[in-house]
Structure 1
């Protein structure tokens, strides 16, 4: 072999190594399409999800669903089931359907926005809510004694003492709809049920408050802030509040009211009073966009060369908040609370996620690098539920992992 041939062979070898390592880097940062076996799944076991979801459709518990399962940076399973709409006409479900995420808005949009402000030194988790909303009242006991102030971390972990909800119809009758300012003021002065930091009580009011804090600090509403700082940078093109007309054909409708399905406007009554731009609900998204968001978290806050959070911020958000361990909550995310049945029975400690009342679910396990996103519009069928289905799917996925 002459010198020229040797150099050529060396260059070809280096080029091949560059391609190999380039693919590894891409696989570690971007989600790639791949076979289930490549992601360490037993495909035959994984396919059991099909029968379970189809059974729930046949039983009339959900009209349809979309499912995405990813692991170690590879999309191993992506599928649509059943129908997106049953009334007044039947409409097939497709993989790109956009869903009303309901309470999944809380971690994906609201808590994420708050934590960006924490990173920037504009909020402390221990700051009293009164620092940003002076009219916010404290818990007062039976003898008229005030307790310690409600702090930002109380809101994020549902330990603020705020009631879970308030009467949306009464507010609508009194102020009309939308009435965002009046709702915020109602929450600020509402009677607190428990002293802060003592009781876990899941509260939509706390996350409406968090969105108001984001608004008062940044000058942007929660939809504007999360879109500019999170969703657009990540390329989540179908994730937004108040979807405009061009998105309507892709949206899975929710509740049927007087024979007409609600499509593209938030289902939650309090979020409706906030004109669809609320901290507790209002976000619309797809399995593909949410997979990007979840992979960003698994990557330690970065995706596709764009950093959203520091690794330590991700760890803080997705771990049980130590000062309030009894709640089993991270900063926005559910880790080990009474609401975490969507995480199943088999995924290890440290798995986190969230659910939405409309029938949506996110489950992420950092240890096995697994993402399970199951989106349904269960509320399209009266008195239906996806609660048990979420757990069954999570168990099947966990049991299908055969390679670490």
Structure 2
């Protein structure tokens, strides 16, 4: 992967910041800086959708256990399909469906998910699902009568000062955006300045499962808010009880590592490496992005790469993530 930015974050500050490489493997490609934007991919699920759920739940505007069919009139889902079961990735929805392979727009994607057959009994197992999160985004938009990007801006981007985190960055930001894949299959071009995820693309770039672009600095501020139990720079975004609820393993489905929206440290090999505490929680993105937060050691680690450049078939990120996290924790004296 040609480009990487990383940060080590404490409750009150960024303790270390790293940028390495160039945007692409080209000799004259721009060098990566901490102010450059990465396609965050599924980290969108926590930076936008999950945190919006926590905020709206705290405000009493979202009932985590209300059936989706009661909120979305076109939804045929089982009554056990709720915001909570979706956040736990236990709603019954399949992991991924290539909806983009037929002519389709945002509303048609949502309608397709509303009518989609479940793959398993809700709450019987755990399957990481983009489809469930697409439905969850539709729930939030219906409850608030506002599009997802406006909800993100109002509740998170502006209050947290995440001014370099956005859906659909404009042409003026292009030079600071790290490219992703040379997509020869669907787009027939280098994906640069537009969302890599194909289903998010046909949704117009604003999707609850993928679509955010952001810098390592903004991701660090977001992680710091969660690490500080909902507070950032003296501004309360969430109450500590909400933070603890959403970051704690749900323990509803046997052997599932999922909390609400966040994953937790799995037994055996974890992308967090060996030294993160058992109460740690994190999120990964397909493009090579991740956030891991350790509330016991009061450390968060942000790692942003464009590992899908030039092709998604590069899977070295699987070994890089735990090795990088182990090196960080060892450097901080936590290698025990």
Which bracket does the TM-score occupy, shorter chain normalised? over 0.9
Q: Which residue of 1 aligns with 2:138?
A: 212
Residue 339 of structure 1 deviates from its aligned partner by: 11
Residue 70 of structure 1 deviates from its aligned partner by: 2.2
Q: Which residue of 1 aligns with 2:48?
A: 109
How many positions carry a matched residue from both structures? 330
Matches for 1:34-73 after TM superposition, within 5 Å: 62-73=1-12
Whether the 8 Å contact between 2:69 and 2:77 is mirrored in structure 1 is no
Residue 327 of structure 1 deviates from its aligned partner by: 1.8
CA distance in 2 between counterparts of 1:89 and 1:105 reads 30
- Change over 3 Å in CA distance of 1:376–1:111 after alignment to 2: same
Is the counterpart of residue 395 in structure 1 residue 329 in structure 2? no
CA distance in 2 between counterparts of 1:66 and 1:129 reads 38
Q: Which residue of 1 aligns with 2:65?
A: 126
Is the counterpart of residue 374 in structure 1 residue 303 in structure 2? yes
| TM value normalised by structure 2 | 0.93
Residue 330 of structure 1 deviates from its aligned partner by: 1.2
User: Which one of 92, 105, 110 corresponds to residue 31 of structure 2?
Assistant: 92
CA distance in 2 between counterparts of 1:88 and 1:130 reads 53
Residue 168 of structure 1 deviates from its aligned partner by: 2.6
Is the counterpart of residue 384 in structure 1 residue 310 in structure 2? no
User: Which one of 72, 76, 88 corresponds to residue 137 of structure 1?
Assistant: 76
- Change over 3 Å in CA distance of 1:191–1:279 after alignment to 2: same
User: Which one of 295, 303, 306 corresponds to residue 232 of structure 2?
Assistant: 303
Whether the 8 Å contact between 1:342 and 1:361 is mirrored in structure 2 is no
Q: Which residue of 2 aligns with 1:162?
A: 93
CA distance in 2 between counterparts of 1:76 and 1:119 reads 31
Q: Which residue of 1 aligns with 2:218?
A: 289
Q: Which protein has the larger Cα radius of gyration, Structure 1 or Structure 2?
A: 1
CA distance in 2 between counterparts of 1:378 and 1:343 reads 17
Describe the superposition over 1:165-202 as per-residue Cα deviations: whole angstroms up to 9, x where unpaired.
11234332xx3xxx111111111111101111011011
RMSD of the TM alignment (CA)?
A: 2.0
Is the counterpart of residue 274 in structure 1 residue 203 in structure 2? yes
Describe the superposition over 1:321-357 as per-residue Cα deviations: whole angstroms up to 9, x where unpaired.
1434632111111113589832112111111111100
CA distance in 1 between counterparts of 2:197 and 2:47 reads 17
CA distance in 2 between counterparts of 1:393 and 1:99 reads 18
CA distance in 2 between counterparts of 1:302 and 1:169 reads 39
Q: What secondary structure is seen at the aligned counterpart in 1 of 2:303?
A: strand
More helix per residue: 1
CA distance in 2 between counterparts of 1:281 and 1:403 reads 33
CA distance in 1 between counterparts of 2:80 and 2:330 reads 45
User: Which one of 106, 114, 128 corresponds to residue 188 of structure 1?
Assistant: 114
Whether the 8 Å contact between 1:68 and 1:75 is mirrored in structure 2 is yes
Which consecutive unaligned segments of at least 5 residues does structure 2 have? none
Whether the 8 Å contact between 1:70 and 1:77 is mirrored in structure 2 is yes
Describe the superposition over 1:12-31 as per-residue Cα deviations: whole angstroms up to 9, x where unpaired.
xxxxxxxxxxxxxxxxxxxx
Q: Which residue of 2 aligns with 1:31?
A: none
Q: What secondary structure is seen at the aligned counterpart in 2 of 1:78?
A: strand
Q: Which residue of 2 aligns with 1:24?
A: none
Which consecutive unaligned segments of at least 5 residues does structure 1 have? 1-61, 140-147
CA distance in 2 between counterparts of 1:240 and 1:130 reads 30
Residue 157 of structure 1 deviates from its aligned partner by: 0.8
